[in-house]
Amino acid sequence: MLRPTLVIWGQRIKPSTHIKFLGVNIDQELQWKEQGAAAIAKGAEWLAQFRWMAKPAGGASFKHMRRLYLSVAVPRILYAADIFLTPEWKGTKQGGGVMGARLSSIQGQIANMVMGSMRSSPHDAAEAYTGIMPFHLLVEKIRFTAALRLATLPVTHPLHSAVKAAAKRRIKTHPTPLHDLMHTFKLQPESMEKIKGVRQGPKWTSQVGTHIMRNKEKVEDEEEKRAGDEVRVYTDGSGYEGRIGGCTEEEPSKEHSDTDLGKKQHTRSMKERVLG
């Protein structure tokens, strides 16, 4: 599609076939070719970095290279994969199969480097030995995670109404990535648990007083000062060996919790208040 050059106050602005917004290359035809090319370029850069680290003498260890790939390289290479790696990338449209094959080949080469095997070794065998998911399953996992995150958005989120409308019915012609995510994984936002965000005003102050002991030598003195408090709750947030300690000192009952109450800190706090 040819477009004329825009002139504003003598400044000539040439048209472009795509624009980068929030780290995603959006082209005028919404074919995601530029974004796919950018993902392949990122993969090639990471492949060169892994080739430099995978030296037989003095290179990085197996577990560190695997962790680096899964925790850093994959999120950067497959950024916004839920948008541009729709089912079309599998090859149902022209160009999609090439994108998937290139990215899968990059992962296979990295898996061989993690294993320390020869370049000619089968990629699928290296992925199995290193515990790295096959590329097509890895993409589906990322897309499912994004779809699940969208389905659990609270009502106050700006995307809630769009996700709800997309999940109601599937559009046969020109479906959006949002329609594809909701109906591929058959998610119903109405049946998902919603966790409301905690929001407080700038003048909000907690009604529960907290105090962290600086050292164990002064614990006894601090306890004597707070002997008149009606309720005292003791917590241990260290999470050592997955155990979270919490106890209350209120006559006549004494209770304690010696198990991890969850990964969310507010869950632990609410449980400890219940104990109190």
pLDDT tens-digit series, residues 163-195: 888 888 888 787 888 888 888 888 888 888 877
- CA–CA separation, 125 vs 129, rounded Å? 6
**What is the average pLDDT across 99-109?**
88
Please tell me the distance from the alpha carbon of residue 107 to that of residue 128, in angstroms, as a whole number: 12
* DSSP three-state, residue 176: coil
| Span between the terminal Cα atoms of the chain, in Å | 68
Question: Measuring CA to CA, which residue among 222, 263, 256 is closest to residue 242?
Answer: 263
What distance in Å separates the CA atoms of residue 79 and residue 86, rounded to the nearest whole number? 13
pLDDT at 204: 84
Q: Report pLDDT for 168.
A: 87
Lowest pLDDT segment from 103-107, 113-117, 263-267: 263-267
pLDDT at 42: 92
pLDDT at 265: 47
Residue written as token pair 């970095």:
49
In angstroms, the CA 173 to CA 217 distance is 72
C-beta atoms surrounding 133 within 10 Å = 15
Least reliable range by pLDDT among 85-94, 98-107, 174-183, 257-266: 257-266
Q: At what angle do helices 135-151 and 177-184 cross, to 10 degrees?
A: 100
What is the distance between the alpha carbons of residues 187 and 192, in angstroms, rounded to a whole number? 9
233-236 vs 245-248, strand pairing mode: antiparallel
Res. 202 pLDDT band, cuts 50 70 90: confident
126: closest CA among 62, 181, 48?
62
- Rounded to whole angstroms, the Cα distance separating 240 from 136 reads 37
Confidence of residue 238 (pLDDT cuts 50, 70, 90): low
Residues 99 and 37: their CA atoms lie apart, in Å, by 8
Say which DSSP state 250 is in.
B
Token match 């589906």: residue?
Answer: 140
Task: Provide the edge-to-edge strand list for the sheet that holds 245-248.
Answer: 233-236, 245-248, 256-257
